[in-house]
């Protein structure tokens, strides 16, 4: 599960390039958030994100990845992850998860957000699910400390969720760098395996997925879209994070993770 010998540790200069990719991803996600309103199709949102990525001279990480046909993953309601953009128009109260990746000079950034589409007095429980998933992500990121253990991330996520929602266990975080997905796997739950010790130069994507009902999943006939078996709604949050000798920096957060880590008493270390 934990390929210790295969982990790609980054130099400081390589992390700086990944930060550039991360900021492109952050801008693309913000543009999609702003455009996500009733009547807009998921294909139109995909185009919004791709324009931002290519406008920076970057390349979408997802487009063509194992045959994936779009630049973003856009998952609606009971779709957990890997949703394919298309003609589906958003409706008021839809729960939308947006996953985005970009490549700059051969290095990847990867991040995801979830939101509830405006327009109605929606189900407040969906808002709580979105908030809980984001909070769990930050708890996991806060556990990334040089000298600690990778397994601390999953333990922190599980402790933060505390049984309020089900954690999707079949899809996990990952190392990131010259490839979008590389060792080590970053679990979103506690196991007996503590994983590798955390060292400077490690870059990982932390991405919990929570559901309101059962964590059982299935893949649709498109061979990509993962949905809940009981049709319950799902949320997904993700950030790419770099560990340095001085601390951590959230590569895909414009503020480096300052606001998200503040409740955990952690001040991220700027890369400048």
In this structure, the strands spanning 59-60 and 95-104 are antiparallel
Residue 3 has a pLDDT of: 43
Residue 146 has a pLDDT of: 95
Residue 2 has a pLDDT of: 44
Residue 63 has a pLDDT of: 98
What tens digit of pLDDT does each residue of 197-256 get?
Answer: 999 999 999 999 999 999 999 999 999 999 999 999 999 999 999 999 999 999 999 999
- CA nearest neighbour of 91 among 127, 125, 49, 40: 40
For residue 235, what are the β-bridge partners? 210
Residue 272 has a pLDDT of: 72
Task: Report residues of the chain scoring pLDDT below 70.
Answer: 1-5, 119-123
In whole angstroms, how far apart are CA 205 and each of 38, 141, 195, 238, 254? Answer: 30, 9, 15, 7, 16
Residue 246 has a pLDDT of: 92
Distance CA 139, CA 69 (A): 33
Residue 193 has a pLDDT of: 87
Residue 120 has a pLDDT of: 57
Residue 5 has a pLDDT of: 55
In whole angstroms, how far apart are CA 241 and each of 60, 89, 222? Answer: 19, 33, 31
Helix (H), strand (E), coil (C) string for the chain: CCCHHHCCCCCHHHHHHHHHHHHHHHHHHHHHHHHCCCCCEHHHHHHHHHHHHHHCCCEECCCCHHHCCCCEEEEECCEEECCCCCCCECCCCCEEEEEEEEEECCEEEEEEEEEECCCCCCCHHHHHHHHHHHHHHHHHHHCCCCCCECHHHHHHHHHHHCCCCEECCCCCEEECCCCCCEEEEECCCCCCCCCCECCCCCEEEECCEEECCCCCEEECCCCCCEEECCCCCEEECEEEEEEECCEEEECCCCCCCHHHHHHHCCCCCCCC
Angle between helices 42-55 and 12-35 (to 10 degrees): 140
Distance CA 53, CA 45 (A): 13
Task: Determine what percent of the chain is predicted with pLDDT higher than 70.
Answer: 96
Q: Taking the domain 4-264, which CATH number applies?
A: 3.90.230.10
What's this model's pTM, rounded to 2 decimal places?
0.96
């Amino acid at each position: 599960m934990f390929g210790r010998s295969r982990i790609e540790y980054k130099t400081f200069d390589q992390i700086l390039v990944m930060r550039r990719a991360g900021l492109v991803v952050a801008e693309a996600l913000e543009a999609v958030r702003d455009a996500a309103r009733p009547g807009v199709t998921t294909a139109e949102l995909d185009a919004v994100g791709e324009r931002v990525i290519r406008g920076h001279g970057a390349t979408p990480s997802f487009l063509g990845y194992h045959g994936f046909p779009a630049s973003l993953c856009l998952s609606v309601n009971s779709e957990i992850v890997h949703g394919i953009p298309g003609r589906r128009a958003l409706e008021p109260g839809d729960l939308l998860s947006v996953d985005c990746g970009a490549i700059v000079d051969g290095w990847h950034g990867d991040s995801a957000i979830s939101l509830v589409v405006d327009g109605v007095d929606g189900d407040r429980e969906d808002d709580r699910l979105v908030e809980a998933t984001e909070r769990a992500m930050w708890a996991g990121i806060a556990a990334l400390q040089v000298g600690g253990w990778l397994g601390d991330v999953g333990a922190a996520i599980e402790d933060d969720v505390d049984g309020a929602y089900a954690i999707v266990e079949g899809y996990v975080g990952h190392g990131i760098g010259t490839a979008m997905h590389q060792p080590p796997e970053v679990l979103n739950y506690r196991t007996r395996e503590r994983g590798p010790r955390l060292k400077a130069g490690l870059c990982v994507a932390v991405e919990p997925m929570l559901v309101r009902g059962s964590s059982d999943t299935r893949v649709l006939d498109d061979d990509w879209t993962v949905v809940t078996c009981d049709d319950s709604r799902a949320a997904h949050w993700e950030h790419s994070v770099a560990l340095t000798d001085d601390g951590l920096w959230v590569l895909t957060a414009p503020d480096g993770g300052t606001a998200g880590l503040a409740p955990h008493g952690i001040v991220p270390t700027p890369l400048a």
